[in-house]
Structure formats: C-alpha cells, structure tokens
Structure 1
Amino acid sequence: MPRPQRAAAAKARSKLIDFPESSEASSSDEAAKTKVVEHKSVEVRETITAKEKLNASATVTKVGKTVKTTVRLKPKAGVKRKAGEDNDNDSNGDNEGQKSTTQKKVRASTKKNPPTMIPAVARTVGIKMLVGAHNAITNCNNIGGNAFALFLKSQRKWASPDMKESDAVAFREACKESRFDPKRHILPHGSYLINLAQSDQEKAKQAYDCFIDDLKRCERLGIGLYNFHPGSTLGLPRSEALARIAAHLNRAHKETRFVKTVLENMAGQGNIIGANFEDLRDIIADVKDKDRVGVCLDTCHLFAAGHDIRTQASYDTVMANFDRIVGREYLVALHLNDSKAPLGSSRDLHQNIGVGFLGLEAFRVLMNDEKLEGLPMVLETPMKVESTWAEEIKLLESLVGTPGNDPNFLVKAAKLSAKGKEERKAAEAAEKKKAIKKAPKPRKKGGKKQSEESGEDGNTEDEAEHTCEH
C-alpha cells in the first residue's frame, strides 16, 4: 500500500500539549488558546477552546512553570479529512485515482479506535534482512525499522508545491544521524495517478511531468530508488503500452543523474500491466540504461496474480521463473504483505502478516532467502494500532534462521492463521460466488451463440478495473 506519515492518521488523537500555567485558569467557552502539538517528529500549530478542553479527557502534570496536559480530543462530527490523510489504499482504478469503499471503512475505524502511542522500539543492528514500513525517518526509528518508504508529495494530486531546499538538507542530515543510506534503504512510492502507458498525448504529458518531478525530488533528497506502478493499457494493445512506458523511462533517465526507476509487479486485475513477469521483462528490454531500472516484488500482488509462494518448493519455482524471465539482478526491493484474497484472485487486498491466505510460512521462507539480503523490504499491511508495524518487523526478523518445524514457529503460525480464519472463509465463499457468475451459461434454443472459451459476450476478465485495498 500503501500512507505518507502516520502523524496524519494520529492527528486529533493522543496529543502532548504545552500551555502556560495561566491558561489553565481560563473557563470562557469563547477563549481560544494557542498550543504546540507534538506527534513524534511532527509539530503542528493549532488552537483549542476551553470548551473543547472540557469535552476532552485530560491528564495534567506540572513541571516547573509549564503545565503539560495529555489530551484526547473527540473528533468533530461531520468533519472530512483532507485528501491524502490515512491513505491505506493503493487504489488507482486504471491509474486514475479511484478511491475504494474499504479506504472509507479504514478511516471510520481509525476515528473510533485511534492508534495509541508506543515506546520506541530499538532497531536490530547488523541484520541483513532490512524490514521497515511506509513511514518517516523518525517514525521508522521508533518502530525499529531498517528501511522505509514514503511519498515525495501528495500521491493524489498532479501538481504540488516545490520542495524547499532547507527541507531537502534536513532530510539528508536526518538520514546521516539515523544511519540510513538513502541510496539503498529508502523506497519512495510514486503517485497513484501516474500511467506511463497512457496513449492520449495531453494525459501522457501530465503523467510524465508528475513522474519526472518525483525523480528530481528523489535526487535532491539523495534517494537512489523510486518505486511506481507500471500503469494500464486502457484496453489498447499491450505491446504498444509497454513500449510507451520504456520510452518514458529512457527520457527520464536522460533528464536525471542516478535515481533508479523501480517497476512494481501488480495483482493483475483489468488492464493493469505487471501481473506477469513477461510484462516487466519486455519493459526492461527496451530501457537503454539497464543500471537505471529495477523491480520491486509485492508478495500480495504475486499471490493475487497466481504466483504461489506459500511453501519452500512453490517459492523456489516462482523465483526461478523470475530469474529466468526477468533476471534476479533487477530485483532491488520488496513489499511485504499478506493477502485477504485467495490465490489467483487478481485482487489487491493487503492483510497483516500471517493472518491472510499466504500465512506465516511464506514469510519464513522469504526471510531465509539469502539472495534478498540488503534489499529494502517495506510493510504495507493494515495498521490497526500503532504497534502493528513494530510487532510485524520483529516477527519477520525472528524468522531469520528459523526452521519450518520449530515448535514456537508452528504455534505462532497457527495462532495468526486462526485470527484470520473467518475472514478467509468469507473471502473464499465470495470467490466461489463470483466464479459461478462468470461461468458460461448454457445456450438457449434460438439464442445468440457464445464462445465458452473466450467469453465473447464482452465480459472478459481484462475489462475489470484495478483496485488496491489495504
């Protein structure tokens, strides 16, 4: 998936507010007090009325002349979030920015059950499997991440304000302080609006301008990798769409210096490009500077597209196919997600590690693949509470060197599997119902002839729209 910084999701939740001592004495409902709200590394200036303070639960402590109040504010009814806040959804329709109902449910759930603050979790030093999440530098440190992803600007707007040089300098300095190598440990995610396969000249220019702006931002920040969705054919010939993507990459490489453009494999719904390894191979084949292109494999997308990685044997088969068709030298990053949908469903529905159809064994196998050492591995799983990613990072790290018959591992795998049992059962029932609907109906006497093999009634699977839900 997919969440610029979790400060946006936690805004108006649990806040540490510093007031001058005299401000606590005010009882007027109309009186407004200025405060500084701190959420980890993020500072936001707001105002709070005495009436709002009365409606909030608060714990007051006095330190010298400063009164520190931990306030849990109730969210105002009917207030809409700004676009881009709490984006747990990688939805882009045919890369046109379509939102899903699941995203709305996640937002509603977050309002009712706000994330709770957790103490910082230490990063594991010296580990070769670099797991992190979609986060900011400070937040990544707090959850014990050794890699992270981010958005370079709003992922649902074509144009954004230019980056301030002071912000770029501060980011590079923060990377040094936290010992993150921005060339290797950071994997920004491109805008969901970008479709480099677009054939319409005006829309293609709009997509490319947004794309090249992202790449230039990467280079100003010192970031060496840039992950993006390949795009959609929009129903046009696939070979031509792939050629257009490669042409845009060639042009972008000439306009930038070092950032590597990283193609993400996709779940395979509708006209979306990248569900099969041949799509990735054919794009790379037309890219002139092979050192400037790579691939990010998303485990949920792999599974949804029919690549079974649940056992050692099936994982080895899938990766051998990748090595043969694309080439292991192009694999530069991974997105780690379980799947809410069954194998080959073409549905991009991210689930927490071990709870979905992939199960914990798939991730144990992956975490013991020595060929993946040193690559950034980014979690895009649903964050139900703030500790979720911290726990999942430690869980994944604990799998390194763990055999499949380890008793503790088997107990943990069974526990996580049981947690998602009912949801998987419902998903399987829904898939069966969908399969029945898709099945060709018997021909009626005198009725119009249909091809049972090719679906000539027009409802081919490739006409469905892509939806990525977390």
Structure 2
Amino acid sequence: MLNIGAHMSIAKGYEAAGKDALSIGANTFQFFTRNPRGGKAKDLSEKDIDRLRKIMEENNFSDILAHAPYTLNMASAKKDTREFAKELFRKDLDIMNQIPSHLYNFHPGSHTTDSIEEGISRIQETLNECIKEDDDTFILLETMSGKGSEIGKTFEELREILDRVKLKDKMGVCIDTCHVFCAGYDIVNDLDGVLTKFDKVIGLDKLKAVHLNDTMNDFNTNKDRHAKIGEGFLKTEPLINFINHPAIKDLPIFLETPNELEGYKKEIKLLRENYKY
C-alpha cells in the first residue's frame, strides 16, 4: 500500500485534519505543531486525540508526521535564538508524547555567521540536552537544499549530527525530493546512486519519511521553492520512479506542494495510479 498524505491544518483539531486527509484519498498527513513562524501550540483535547486515533485505526493510517516551526534554529550563532529553539523543541516533544504519532521532522538550522562545524556542535548540544529516554518519537533531520548558511545539504553533514547524538535510536532522516535535487543529488538520472550513497553515509535504516515535491529551481542551485508534481524541474516520471524504488516504497510520503485540498487530491490519485506495489 502507498502510504501518502499532504500537509493538513490542525486549526480545527486533529480529528478534522484526519477527516481532511481521508477526503483527498490520503492515509496519513503532516501538520505543524504550532504556527510555522513559532507561535503557541494548539491546546490538546483528549477527546479530539482519541477521535483521531480511531480514524487512524479504522483507515489503516501510517504514522502522521509533525513538522517543527521554521523559526526553530538550533544552529544559530545568537544565544537567544538557540534558547527559543530549545524551548520550542522540548515543548513539541511533550506534545508528541500525547498524540498518536511517532515522527517529528525539523530543519537542522543555519549557522548564520559562523561555520558549519560550530553550527553542528550547537545542534548536537540542544538535541542531547532535550531528548529523553522516555520520548516516544523518531526525531527526523530533514535534507536541505543548502541555501545561505543552511546545515544539512549533504548526507555527510546529517551523518555528523547523528553521530553526536547520545540517544541515536531516537533519530532518523526525512528526504525532501526538492531539497536533495537542488543540493546536487541527481535523483532524476541517478536515483540508485543517490540512495546507495545515502545508505553508505547514513544508512537506509535511518530513512523514516519522504517529502515528495517538485521544484521551481534546477539541479544543484541550492534553492528551496517547491512546485506541484510535474510542474517543476523534477517532472512527474522521476517522482513516480522515486516512490516505486524498493528503498522508498514502504515509507510514509508527504506532499508539500503549493496546493489546496483539491490539488492534493489530484496528486494523490496520480501517484496511487502509478504505484506498482
């Protein structure tokens, strides 16, 4: 079965997000834990969470994916920015321990005015301080396009972060197709080679989720602008090949294309029709 969903709002509650996912033919969804710019998290309702859990159980959902706010930057040279990131991150993990999800994705961050090495050290410090043994969540580093001073554009940078985390069994990676292509990994002409390199550097056992997006920018441009499936430089066929790759086929896949519900519904239909397993 193709485990696929899109980004859903939880403004009306988790049950409503689950129903929206069902309405577009999805069996999972991604959501922001709070405003993507870093506001207060939505208050949790036990009844709402129970109703979401029922939807997931009755409709064979795979794990849903929580996405950290974009303002969370553990790597920043600014202490107040790092403290803000640390506070949000720990609060989000507390939320994750209460909802039926085991995947939490975040952008590793930008070192801003220092070096990649210093940025990675700061990320490591926050992760090791915040992650607890009883956290019931895989924390996923997202592959990045490499714009500005972003960390995570290479598999080696992600590996270095993973190596420095004490509770390694709680860490994983989310591949974003737009980001890796724009970072210089040719998933159009050398998908096998890219995934073989991922396995060699990081390990496919650490790959827990996929952001499936086309891109408005060409290969190796270090840009981050998502496009609808088939309307960017990646095109439809390579993205279909991606979801059908043996290393990807069983992972939960999340669309972050610039769409409303009807657009997501069309993309999910297209991908399901071309899924070969």
Q: What is the TM-score normalised by the length of structure 1?
A: 0.55
**Partner residue in 2 for 1:395:** 270
Structural mapping, 1:45-56, within 5 Å: none
Distance 1:199 1:375 in 2: 35
Matched, 1:326 2:209: no
Larger-gyration structure (1/2): 1
1:293-308 counterparts in 2 under 5 A? 293-308=171-186
Give the conservation status (yes or no) of the 8 Å contact 1:158–1:210: no
Shift of 1:255: 6.7
Q: Deviations over 1:9-63 (max 9, x none)?
A: xxxxxxxxxxxxxxxxxxxxxxxxxxxxxxxxxxxxxxxxxxxxxxxxxxxxxxx
Q: 5+ unaligned residues in a row in structure 1: which ranges?
A: 1-126, 403-470
Letter of the 1:176 counterpart = E
Aligned Cα root-mean-square deviation (Å): 1.8
Partner of 1:232: 110
Partner of 1:138: 19
Separation of aligned partners in 2, 1:174 and 1:188 = 17
Gap regions ≥5 residues in structure 2: 9-16
Counterpart residue number, 1:252: 130
Are 2:33 and 1:152 aligned? Answer: yes
1:290, 1:350 → 2: CA distance? 30
Q: Describe the SS at the equivalent of 1:348.
A: coil
Which shows bigger deviation, 196-205 or 325-334?
A: 196-205
Whether the aligned pair in 2 keeps the contact of 1:140 and 1:146 (CA below 8 Å) is yes
Structure 1 position 158, deviation (Å): 4.1
Residue-by-residue CA offset, 1:201-221 (whole Å, 9 max, x unaligned): 333221111111111111101
Change (3 A) 1:248 1:345: same
Contact 1:133 1:147 in 2 (8 A): yes
Structure 2 match to 1:167: 48
How far the C-alpha of 1:176 sits from its partner, in A, is 2.8
Q: Note the 1:58-69 alignment, pairs <5 A.
A: none
Q: Does 1:339 align with 2:215?
A: yes
Is the contact between residue 158 and residue 193 of structure 1 (CA under 8 Å) also seen in structure 2? no
State which of 277, 286, 290 in structure 1 corresponds to 2:155. Answer: 277
1:167/1:364 Cα in 2 relative to 1: closer, same or farther (>3 Å)? closer
Q: Distance in 2 between matches of 1:161 and 1:143?
A: 24
Q: Out of 66, 71, 90, which is 1:188 matched to? A: 66
Stretch moving more, 364-373 or 248-257: 248-257
Deviation at 1:290, TM superposition (A): 1.6
Match among 218, 223, 241 for residue 365 of structure 1: 241
SS in 1 for 2:34: coil
The one-letter code matched in structure 1 to 2:228 is N
Q: Judging changes above 3 Å, is the alpha-carbon distance between structure 1 residues 287 and 251 closer, same or farther for their aligned structure 2 residues?
A: same
Pairwise CA distance, 1:315: 0.8
Residue correspondences, number: 269
Q: Which amino acid counterpart does residue 246 of structure 2 have in structure 1?
A: E
Q: Which residue of 2 aligns with 1:223?
A: 101
Please say if residues 234 and 271 of structure 1, whose CA atoms lie closer than 8 Å, have aligned partners that are also in contact: yes
Q: Deviations over 1:340-364 (max 9, x none)?
A: 1111111111111112111122112
Whether the 8 Å CA contact 1:226–1:262 is kept in 2: the answer is: yes
Q: Return the alpha-carbon distance in structure 2 between the equivalents of residues 228 and 310 of structure 1.
A: 25
Deviations 1:109-147 (A, max 9, x none): xxxxxxxxxxxxxxxxxx1x3121112210111111122
2:3–2:61 contact (8 Å) kept in structure 1: no
Q: Give me the whole-angstrom Cα distance separating, in 1, the residues matched to 2:263 and 2:45.
A: 32
Residues 255/156 of structure 1: CA separation in 2 closer, same or farther (3 Å cut)? farther
Structure 1 position 382 matched with structure 2 position 258: yes
Distance 2:158 2:269 in 1: 32
Q: Residue 115 of structure 1 aligns with which residue?
A: none
CA contact (8 A) 2:162 2:168 kept: yes
Of residues 179, 190, 196, the one that matches 2:60 is: 179
Pick one of 155, 160, 165 that aligns with 1:287: 165
Contact kept in structure 2, 1:263 and 1:294, CA below 8 Å: yes
Instruction: Give TM-score, length-normalised by structure 2.
Output: 0.91
Within 5 Å, which residues of 2 pair with 1:197-212?
197-212=75-90
Q: Secondary structure at the match of 2:218?
A: coil
The 2-side partners of 1:159 and 1:291 are apart by 29
SS of aligned partner of 2:92 = helix
Q: 1:205 to 1:255 in 2, by over 3 A?
A: farther
User: How far did 1:199 drift?
Assistant: 3.8
Query: Amino acid of the residue matched to residue 173 of structure 1?
Result: K
CA contact (8 A) 1:159 1:210 kept: no
Percent identity over the alignment is: 37
